Amino acid sequence: MKTKIGKSKGSSLSFLTLLPPVLFVIILGVLPLILIIIWSFFEPTEYWIKPHLTIAAYLKFITLGRYITFVKTLRVSITVTFLALIIGYPIAYFIRKVVREKFRNILLFIFIIPFFLSYIVRVFSLRLILGRYGVINNVLIWMGLISVPIEGLLFNEFAVHIGLLSSYLPFMIFPIVLSIERVGDSTIEASQDLGAPFFQTLIRVIIPLTKPGIFAGCIFVFVSSLGTTVEWDLLGGVSEFSTQQMLESLMMALKFPSAFAISTLILAITICALLLGFKYAKMGKLFETLE
Amino acid sequence: MQNNTQPDIYLRNLCKRFGDIIAVQNLTLEVHKGEFLTLLGPSGSGKTTTLRMIGGFEKPTEGEIYIQGELVNDKPPNKRSTRTVFQDLSLFPHMTVGENIGYGLLFQGLNKNDRKNKALKALELVGLEGLYKRKVTTLSGGQKQRVALARALVTQPPILLLDEPLGALDEKLRERMQAELKNLHQMLGISFIAVTHNQEEALTMSDRIAIINKGRLEQVATPREIYENPKTEFVADFIGLANILEGEIIEDNTGVEKLLSNGLEYFIPTKDKFNKGDNVILMVRPERIAIGDKVKGYKNSFSVTVRNILYKGVCSEFYISFDNDQEMRIRVESKSFWQDRFTGGKITIGWDERDTVVLKRESK
Ligand SMILES: Nc1ncnc2c1ncn2[C@@H]1O[C@H](COP(=O)(O)OP(=O)(O)OP(=O)(O)O)[C@@H](O)[C@H]1O
Ligand SMILES: [Mg+2]
């Protein structure tokens, strides 16, 4: 009996069971984004906004020089993403293809541990390393390489880069580990067998086959770098100011359309990056089952 | 050595251990130029490991590997003249058929045009004309198999290594590819070293078969030698069907040799030199045993009880037991008038003593 009902009404039943999650995604995920985009074209009132279409918020983005901060944040995020890729790829390769299984999990665990800490504490701890009396300066002095502490390590863009890298490097490593897992040992061996030295195997076989992981990692790191404030707050010092911080102060000043305009731009860039990723790097492959 | 020329491959006292596991032990083997040699053995016997050591993917724990006279122990795979067809084929999924086949030519410094021409020729060689531009992921199992072959052969290696080359194919295709591989081998005249655990495949394709058991080489010989004259009990038992019984030599140097097993006496070939009292095994193939009138003239002839008959079309298999309860399997051509009435009845069986193999018992 049960199976019969299930069969005949299968489609409507599955529609009903799908409805709550679909509604959930639409109301809590998609709707706010759409509202933000729409409101960014509205006019500000003293405390809220009124539905009168204008591109004033976008003009202010240019005329008031907000784009400078925006571009700088983009630049830093791109640089960090690139550095994370350069550093993360070899680490991921090492973890997946060089290290024995026993140590592999230990290594992966090491990269997860920092997430158990409050991110504020985690980022703050970098001050203890980069600071005037931090670990680096102390070690250098102890080694006799310098006599006066180096000042330029903290409270500048350099420190922000380091902070972002240390926070989001794992986001690069994990998807790449997953994608390298999909490249069979014997595929790599076949390349070697056909006369390819390791570097050639890397650029002709391994990297092309791990593009989905590379792209996923880049997106994660880029978007996270774009959306964070804590690294700028704690490591950037007073002179460094990020888009996210700008957003927060605009919201606090109740300049909603301006804040929404900037958010819309961030959204547009992120969506473009994602589309490129799915189109050219076949990022969807990362979620397919291993054959 | 059968000929005076240098062997293509010479393995000397090769050992490979993975921690406590001994995968290959003291293996010494020569592969002659242009030979089709098959490594055959049960699962886990070390065939793949041996092949991987030749290809450069595993480092021997002990011993030496010479390829065309050159010691290659420390050479990486890309510096060896061997090419491998991997068990899972390992085609590059992000490349077309043409790119896969042309891949090895990249590192021989060929330009684009030459690469394409050679790849097209290789495709023709394996019967896949017209598939140059196809994505490898869209090919059938048999086509992938051929692309893997073409990819390895296009670089004109002097030695081709094949790990279970036909393992993934269905029975029909497998048989066709066996013939094609053998043809290819004859046409190219290079050495093929194949791994298989399918003995029929080994017997069909190989010039010589190396039987490996628990990492040790049991025997290396032509298929006929392996089948007719197994040198160890393992080989006798492993290849084909075998009736094996244990016994003791009871007469020697008196013109006839006899073996006593569990109260019954068997004649054995006089060429085997054993001493009285030696513990031996006797092996006789089921299809070499005759029944009924054909037994006339055989020194070995016994009256036995039929326990069971399995009809298999071309042949029938008789499960019989001797008076001393020794059991044997016999294969004879089926006759349309045979019925199950044989079962439980008595028949006469016998065999030419030259069709038996007698080996010293291995201490176990
Ligand atoms: N990388 C490895 N690490 C540990 N043990 C291994 C490794 N490779 C092979 N072995 C072991 O070595 C032995 C021989 O393995 P090998 O793969 O050579 O066998 P095989 O004859 O090819 O078997 P099959 O017919 O099943 O493919 C096995 O016991 C196997 O478990
Ligand atoms: Mg194997």
Q: What is the pLDDT of residues A143-157, one digit of tens each?
A: 988 888 888 888 889
Task: Tell which atom from ligand 1 comes closest to the C-alpha of B197.
Answer: 25
Residue B342 has pLDDT above 50, yes or no: yes
Phi then psi for residue A12, to 5 deg, are -70, -35
Segment B171-184 shows an average pLDDT of 89
Environment class of residue B277 by beta-carbon count within 10 Å: exposed (0-12), middle (13-18) or buried (19+)? Answer: exposed
Nearest to B266 by CA among B252, B247, B279: B247
Q: Which residue has better confidence, A218 or A8?
A: A218
Residue B250 has pLDDT above 90, yes or no: no
Residues B170, B150 share a domain: yes
Task: Tell which atom from ligand 1 comes closest to the C-alpha of B164.
Answer: 27
Q: Do A195 and B107 touch (CB under 8 A)?
A: yes
DSSP 8-state assignment for residue B96: B
Give yes or no for residue B18 CB within 6 A of ligand 1.
yes
Interacting residues of B227 by C-beta distance below 8 A, sequence separation 6+: B203, B239, B240
CA–CA separation, A135 and B281 (whole Å)? 77
CA–CA separation, B108 and B314 (whole Å)? 53
Q: Are B92 and A183 in contact (CB under 8 A)?
A: no
Give the pLDDT band of residue B252 (cuts 50, 70, 90).
low
Q: Is the pTM above the cut of 0.90? A: no
Residue A164 has pLDDT above 50, yes or no: yes
Give yes or no for residue B157 CB within 6 A of ligand 1.
no
Q: Which residue range(s) make up the domain with B143? A: 9-229
Q: Which chain B positions have a beta carbon within 8 Å of A197's beta carbon?
A: 78, 107
CA–CA separation, A286 and A209 (whole Å)? 11
Of A184, A193, A200, the CB nearest to B77: A193
Q: Which residue range(s) make up the domain with A193? A: 68-118+151-287
Environment class of residue A251 by beta-carbon count within 10 Å: exposed (0-12), middle (13-18) or buried (19+)? Answer: middle
Residues B317, B292 share a domain: yes
pLDDT at A291 (0 to 100): 44
- Identify whether A19 is part of a domain: no
And the tokens for A77? 């995020």
pLDDT at B341 (0 to 100): 59
Residues B245, B225 share a domain: no
Give the pLDDT band of residue A3 (cuts 50, 70, 90).
very low
Residue A5 has pLDDT above 60, yes or no: no
Residue B216 has pLDDT above 70, yes or no: yes
And the tokens for B109? 């410094």
Give the pLDDT band of residue B2 (cuts 50, 70, 90).
very low
- Identify whether B37 is part of a domain: yes
Instruction: Say yes or no: A208 contacts chain B, CB-CB below 8 A.
Output: yes
- Identify whether A127 is part of a domain: no
Q: Which residue has better confidence, B99 or B3?
A: B99
Residues B36, B158 share a domain: yes
CA–CA separation, B72 and B81 (whole Å)? 10
Given B177, B205, B229, which residue is the final one in a domain?
Answer: B229
CA–CA separation, B220 and B211 (whole Å)? 6
Given B229, B262, B283, which residue is the final one in a domain?
Answer: B229
CATH code of the domain covering residue A213: 1.10.3720.10
Nearest to A93 by CA among A192, A208, A178, A219: A178
Helices (H), chain B: 47-55, 97-106, 112-125, 141-153, 171-188, 199-205, 223-228, 233-238
Task: Tell which atom from ligand 1 comes closest to the C-alpha of B47.
Answer: 21
The amino acid sitting at B360 is K
Residue B124 has pLDDT above 60, yes or no: yes
Residue A20 has pLDDT above 90, yes or no: no
Segment B8-18 shows an average pLDDT of 96
**In whole numbers, what is the pLDDT of chain B averaged over residues?**
90
pLDDT at B188 (0 to 100): 94
Give yes or no for residue B25 CB within 6 A of ligand 1.
no
DSSP 8-state assignment for residue A100: -
Domain count of the fold of chain A: 1
CA–CA separation, B238 and B347 (whole Å)? 28
pLDDT at A159 (0 to 100): 93
Interacting residues of A229 by C-beta distance below 8 A, sequence separation 6+: A242, A244, A245, A248
SS3 category, B2:
coil
First to last CA, chain B: 31
CA–CA separation, B326 and A125 (whole Å)? 82
- Identify whether A260 is part of a domain: yes
| Segment holding A130, helix H or strand E | helix A119-130
Interacting residues of B249 by C-beta distance below 8 A, sequence separation 6+: B257, B258, B259, B260, B274, B275, B276, B277, B278, B280
Residue % of chain A over a pLDDT of 70: 93
pLDDT at B62 (0 to 100): 96
Place of tokens 């999924």: B93
pLDDT in tens, B267-317: 888 776 787 888 889 999 999 999 888 888 888 999 999 998 888 888 889
Residue with the nearest Cα to atom 5 of ligand 1? B18
Give yes or no for residue B44 CB within 6 A of ligand 1.
yes
CA–CA separation, B49 and B45 (whole Å)? 9
Residues 147-206 of A with CB under 8 A from B: 184, 186-187, 189-197, 200, 204-205
- Identify whether A247 is part of a domain: yes
Q: Do B90 and A209 touch (CB under 8 A)?
A: no
Given B178, B209, B229, which residue is the final one in a domain?
Answer: B229
Q: Do B87 and A194 touch (CB under 8 A)?
A: no
pLDDT in tens, A74-131: 999 999 999 999 999 999 999 999 998 889 989 988 888 888 888 888 899 999 989 8
Task: Tell which atom from ligand 1 comes closest to the C-alpha of B45.
Answer: 21
Residue B75 has pLDDT above 90, yes or no: yes
CA–CA separation, B32 and B100 (whole Å)? 30
**Letter string b/e over residues B45-78, b meaning 16 or more CB atoms within 10 A of that residue's CB:** bbbbbbbbbbbbbbebeebebbbbeeebeeeebb
pLDDT in tens, A169-195: 999 999 999 999 989 999 999 999 999
Q: Which chain A positions have a beta carbon within 8 Å of B90's beta carbon?
A: 184, 186-187, 189-190
CATH code of the domain covering residue B345: 2.40.50.100
Q: How far is CA B140 from CA A150, B87, B104, B164, in A?
A: 64, 16, 22, 18
- Identify whether A181 is part of a domain: yes
CATH code of the domain covering residue B131: 3.40.50.300
CA–CA separation, A139 and A144 (whole Å)? 9
- Identify whether A141 is part of a domain: no
Give the pLDDT band of residue B19 (cuts 50, 70, 90).
very high
Of A186, A192, A208, the CB nearest to B88: A186
- Identify whether B223 is part of a domain: yes
Residue B118 has pLDDT above 90, yes or no: yes
CA–CA separation, A143 and A141 (whole Å)? 5
Residues B261, B174 share a domain: no
Q: Which residue has better confidence, B86 or B249?
A: B86
Instruction: Say yes or no: B18 contacts chain A, CB-CB below 8 A.
Output: no
Residue B249 has pLDDT above 80, yes or no: yes
CA–CA separation, A130 and A150 (whole Å)? 9
Domain count of the fold of chain B: 2
The ligand with the least distance to the CA atom of B42 is 1
Give the pLDDT band of residue A1 (cuts 50, 70, 90).
very low
Q: How many CB atoms lie within 10 A of CB B15?
A: 16
Give the pLDDT band of residue B1 (cuts 50, 70, 90).
very low
**In whole numbers, what is the pLDDT of chain A averaged over residues?**
88
Residues B167, B67 share a domain: yes
- Identify whether B4 is part of a domain: no
Our CA angle for B336, B339, B341, nearest 5°, is 155
Sign of CA dihedral A132, A133, A134, A139: positive
